[in-house]
Structure 1
Amino acid sequence: MSWLQQLSCAWQKTQLQRPELASMFTTPLAEQWVAIDCEMTGLNPKKHHLLSVAAIHINGNTIDTSNGMHLVCRPPVMPDRDTIVIHGLRTADVEHGMSYDDMLALLLPFIGNRPIVGFCTQLDMAFLNPLVKRYMGTSLPNEVIDLRHLYSRRISGHTQGLSGQAQHLNRILAHYNIPELGAHDAYNDAVMTAMAFLHVR
C-alpha cells in the first residue's frame, strides 16, 4: 500500500461510525484476498438496485469454497421481466431477501481487510459503496483488484487500455481452460473470478 493509500485509509477510518468494523482498516495478511460478485437490476447505479452479492475467500493458492457466502437482498424496486432473463432472480426470489443493512452486517466482517478481487469491479463498487457509506460512514477501504486489468497486463505487457479478451470473463476462463459454472449467478461468478485470479496473478 502506497503512502497515499495509507493516508486515505487513515482519513476514512476517522469517518467510521461502526467501531466493530475497525479491523477493516488494518494491514491485510499476505496472500489473502476475497473474490466478490454482485447482481443488479441494471447497470446504472443511479436508478438500478443491488439484488445479490457473493463473496469467497482466497488463501494462497486455495479457494475456500466451504466458507463462501451468497446473500440475496430485497431491493426497493422489484426486478422486471427484461432483467430477470439476465440474472435469473425473480420477484419471488428477492421479495423475502434481507435488507441492505442486514446484508452488510454479514458481508463486511467477511470481507475484513482483505483486498477485493472482482471482474469489472468499478461497477460492483458503484453499487456497493453508497450502501456501505450509509451503513458505516465511509466507503470500503480495501484495495480493489480488477481481473480485467491484471489479465490485460499479463497478455499485452502494458497497463494502458483493456484488451478485447479482457472485456469478457468467459474469454479469460477459456484462455486458462477453466470450466464455466453458469454465468450471471453471483456465487458462480465469484468462484470463477477467484479461479481466474489464481492463474492471472
Structure 2
Amino acid sequence: MSWLTQLSCKWQKMQLQRPELTAMFDQPAAERWVALDCEMTGLNPKKHHLLSVAAIHIDGSSIDTGNGIHLVCRPPVMPDRDTIVIHGLRTADVEHGMSYDEMLARLLPFIGNRPIVGFCPQLDMAFLNPLVKDYMGTTLPNKVIDIRHLYSRRMSGQTQGLSSQAQWLTNILAHYQIPDLGAHDAYNDATMTAMAFLHVR
C-alpha cells in the first residue's frame, strides 16, 4: 500500500461515524475478495436509484455461493414500466424492500475489508458510495477490481470491437466457458463475476 493510499485511508477512517465498521479499514487478508453487483432503475446516479445489491465471498479458488447475500431495496421512486424489462424488478418486488440504511447495515459487515470485484464496478460504486457516505460518514475504503481490466490485460489488449458492457461480459463468459446464468439479476451477475474473476486474476 502506497503512502498516498495509506494517508487517504487514514483520512477516511477519521470521518467514520460508525465505530462498529472500523474493521473495514484493516489490511485485507490475502486471497479474500467479495464479488458485488447492483441493479438500478437507470444508469445516472443523479436521477436513478438503487434497487438491489448482491455480494458473494471469494476465498482462494472457492466461491461461497451458499452464503452470499441478495438484498432488495425500497427506492424513493418506484421503477417505471419501461425499465422493468432491464432489471426485472416490479413495484411489487421493491415496495416492501428494505430501506437503504437497513441494506447497508447488512451489506457493509459482509463486505468487510475485502477488495471488491465487479464488472464495471465504477457504476455500482457511483450508486453505492453516496448512500454509504450518508450512512457511515465516508465512502467505501475497499480496493475495487474491474474484471474487464484483468481480462484486457490477459488478452494483451485484444478487446477491440467489444463496444458495450454486454458484449464485454458475453465475451468473457464465452471465452472461459462460464455458464450464462441470466443477466440483470444481481445475484446471478455477482456469481458470474466471481467465476470470471477466478479465471482472469
Tell me what 2:50 maps to: 50
Q: By how many angstroms is 1:164 displaced?
A: 3.9
Alpha-carbon displacement from aligned partner over 1:25-82 (angstroms, at most 9, x marks no partner): 0000000000000000000000000000000000000000111000000000000111
Say whether 1:120 aligns with 2:120. yes
> How many residue pairs get matched?
198
- The one-letter code of the counterpart of 1:96 is H
**Residue 117 of structure 1: SS of its match in structure 2?**
strand
Q: By how many angstroms is 1:4 displaced?
A: 1.4
TM value normalised by structure 1? 0.96
Q: Is the 8 A contact 1:37 1:187 kept in 2?
A: yes
Structure 2: runs of 5 or more not aligned: none
Q: Where do 1:174-193 residues align within 5 Å?
A: 174-193=174-193
**Residue 156 of structure 1: SS of its match in structure 2?**
coil
Q: Is the 8 A contact 1:152 1:163 kept in 2?
A: no
Structure 1: runs of 5 or more not aligned: none
**Residue 35 of structure 2: SS of its match in structure 1?**
strand
* Change in 2 beyond 3 A, CA 1:61/1:163: farther
Say whether 1:104 aligns with 2:79. no
How many Å separate the matches in 2 of 1:180 and 1:3? Answer: 41
Q: By how many angstroms is 1:2 displaced?
A: 2.1
For the aligned residue pairs, the C-alpha RMSD in angstroms reads: 1.3
Q: Is the 8 A contact 1:37 1:190 kept in 2?
A: yes
Identity %: 83
Alpha-carbon displacement from aligned partner over 1:141-194 (angstroms, at most 9, x marks no partner): 000001111111110259xxx644484211100010000001100000000000
* Change in 2 beyond 3 A, CA 1:95/1:149: same
Q: Where do 1:18-167 residues align within 5 Å?
A: 18-156=18-156, 163-165=160-162, 167=165
